[in-house]
Chain A
Amino acid sequence: MDAATQDMLKNLFETKLNSAMRLYLETCTHCGACVEACHVYNSMPEMRYSSVGRSEIIRKVFLKYFKLQGKIAPWLGETIELDDVTMDRFYDAAYSCTGCRRCMMYCPFGIDTQMIMGIAKLLLIGADKEPKLLTMLADMSIAKGEDAEASKAGFEEAIANIEPEVEALWKTAPGKKTIPLNVEGADILYVALSPKHSIIPAAAILNAADASWTLSSFEAVNFGAFMGDSKRMMAIAQRIIAEAERLKVKTVAIVECGTAYRVMKQQTGKHPFEVVAFVELIAKFLREGKIHTTKNIAEKLTYHDPCQVARNGGVYEDPRYVISQIASDFKEMTPNREMNWCCGGGGGLVAMGELEFRMKSSRVKADQVKASGAGRICTICENCQTQLTDLSEHYELGVQVDSLANLVAHALIQE
């Protein structure tokens, strides 16, 4: 690595040094309490897969270039130089971390490893070593935002094609659109993903509640967030924000996608609309008696708290309430809520493929699901759902994995 590249990376590093990041980099006492927090370390016990193991690589680079101690006595903190080998270690650390932030529940200082990994991810982009698939997907999302007209016709056609499947779940009241598009003044903007299974059950539920809603022309998933690229992240989120503002909606309901929810709710500033996870809407509809369900799931059902919605988003009780309205034999996993194990698919890993690593690194999750004794598991994040399905297959757990919205859509009572 030449000096110019090093300088450029150093400058990139510096852009990340806000006060929170400095606290995270300068407070760690190497106490080791977080080591056992990480599902990756628990499944593959190597220090580089622990929370502090990951952040130490960044910290040692920080020490070398930004701290007096690293300049006077580098051996004291075993500083690391920015070079190609270090960049490979950055990759290894950052793209084996799902950003679940479970380690924050163990650290006496609450150090956020996901945030520290943001430095590694940014520097990898700078060194042109980031996972190219994510860049491509992120740039496609951004391009779509810049030229929404180009994809409009195709999108409308695809939506029209799936309307019969929505009707099969719930007969839309006469005179109403099955899947409304571009409705100015609608109450709710529902932001889905590209696969149709992210639209059909939600549309049925919204129609059953007779809600005033409209479907977003954009998909919620934010590949910029996975890459740790705040510029791309904002550009992708901004498409939806602009749409919501243009349509003057009151509520933006995010599909079952943890990262999309957290990005929109917490990481993109204040909005003139409310941001909710779709499950929050379902719970509201149920409480207000706008929809009715039967408890048509008799088999033992458990629930997986997606990290970005639960620990990092605060949605704990609504999904449990919704489940109580559709299932008769609910069993919590242990641990659950803020202590739940990450599924092992976050941080872009599912999008990147990485099947072998995902399976190896999530053995604890598989054990946990197995220990629950449930034959079915539901969750409210597309990523988690994919990962849990893969886990069930790989570890031969024989559990059926579902989206909660889908279960609700199939339990709707049409009076």
Chain B
Amino acid sequence: MNALFSLAASAVQHLTGAKLGSFWSKAALILSESADATSGATVAADATSGATAAAVAVSPFLNAIEYTIVVPLLYFSVLFCIVGIIWRLYKILGAPPAPYSLKIYPSSKSPGLGALKDTFAMPQLRRHKPLFWVFLVIFHISLIMLLLGHLDILPSISIVPESSRHMVGAGLVGVGVTVPLLYFLFRRFRTPVRELSVPADYLLLILILFLFLFGDLMSWGNSWTPNGFVMTKQDFSLYFQGLAQFTFADPRAVLPGSHYHFLVIHVLLADLFFIVLPFSKILHAFLSYPINLLRRK
């Protein structure tokens, strides 16, 4: 309930540029702060309505969940992801090699370079699926930028000036990953790709899509209104710094306002993504080079 209230509150506030949703957002703010210091009972006494009083009882609980998502679970999922990837790569690449060459001709003068080209330029797709190829290139380049953008939030890395309130690309990178993703989803529903898709394909795309949409909301939010999104890159940098230094501090302290819950959802989806990644076909990112080498060598 509480989560819903605050979500709705911040959404309304966001769209109208404050006023209308201010009551609910204030309520949500009080709720979230309550967990840190005061007991539920005292806040309830100060509260103006019965509904808030009922909600207040769950607020420490909500706060604990939010904290778990943005700090411990994030550590866990990233670690899980790394270990999972290494394990799978070990299982695949550590198996005995094929007994004979699997290359096709004409052979390239340098198999290593040829495989690199196949991996990053995807000439087969450019030739046979040009539109798909365009979207894939935009998508994957944007992905790299996205990774850089996230790293850039750390105060020690400055790709865009430290004083900027925007991430790398100021929201454009988000469009760069989201629009192609919509296309990928679209083509999955069409013959012949539809016939060869399994639930995991759709679910993965949908998970990533929502992950991106919540990211987009935060980055575009900064450009929507003069005040923009309540939290900016500079605010996030404090959170990231805490993560990087393993302080285990609650980022709520440095990320005020009701928009915080959007960040929490974004991070929750990211946690899920990291946990799913080692089991998913995203592993192609790591397998693409070695598998292309088979065709060349």
Contacts and interface: CB of A to CB of B under 8 A. Distances in A.
Nearest to B193: A32
Nearest to B200: A76
Interface in A72-99: 75-78
Given A108-B288, A312-B105, 13 more contacts: A18-B98, A27-B287, A32-B187, A33-B128, A77-B198, A77-B200, A104-B104, A106-B124, A110-B292, A115-B98, A267-B100, A310-B105, A311-B104
Nearest to A102: B104
Nearest to A69: B279
Given A56-B196, A338-B105, A33 B294 contact: no
Interface in B128-186: 128-129, 132
B198 A23 contact: no
A86 B128 CA distance: 32
Interface in A27-59: 27-33, 35-37, 47, 50, 52-53, 56
Interface of A: 17-24, 26-33, 35-37, 47, 50, 52-53, 56, 68-69, 75-78, 101, 104-112, 115, 230, 266-269, 310-314, 316, 337-338
B106 interface: yes
Interface in B98-122: 98-102, 104-107, 118, 122
Of B93, B104, B287, chain A has the most CB atoms within 10 Å of the CB of B104
A22 B96 CA distance: 10
Contact of A338 (B104, B203, B292, B294): B104
7 A-B pairs closest in CB distance = A110-B295, A314-B105, A20-B98, A19-B95, A32-B193, A76-B200, A23-B291
Interface residues of B, number: 46
Nearest to A107: B124
Nearest to A309: B105
Contacts of B256: none
B96 A78 contact: no
B196 A105 contact: no
B284 interface: yes
Contacts of B284: 27, 29, 109
B104 A19 contact: no
B281 A266 contact: no
Of A23, A36, A47, A53, chain B has the most CB atoms within 10 Å of the CB of A23
Contact of B124 (A18, A77, A105, A269): A105
B150 to A, nearest CB: 24
B223 interface: no
Contact of A111 (B92, B98, B291): B291
Contact of A109 (B88, B102, B200, B287): B287
B96 A19 contact: yes
Nearest to B192: A35
Of B118, B200, B283, chain A has the most CB atoms within 10 Å of the CB of B200
Of B105, B187, B283, chain A has the most CB atoms within 10 Å of the CB of B105
B201 interface: yes
Contact of B199 (A52, A76, A106, A314): A76
Nearest to B96: A18
Contact of B93 (A19, A28, A76, A268): A19
A228 to B, nearest CB: 13
Interface in B62-119: 88, 91-102, 104-107, 118
A192 B8 CA distance: 80
25 contacts: A20-B102, A27-B281, A27-B287, A27-B288, A30-B193, A30-B197, A30-B281, A33-B128, A33-B129, A47-B192, A50-B192, A53-B195, A53-B196, A76-B198, A78-B199, A104-B104, A108-B124, A108-B288, A109-B287, A109-B292, A110-B118, A110-B295, A112-B102, A112-B294, A314-B106
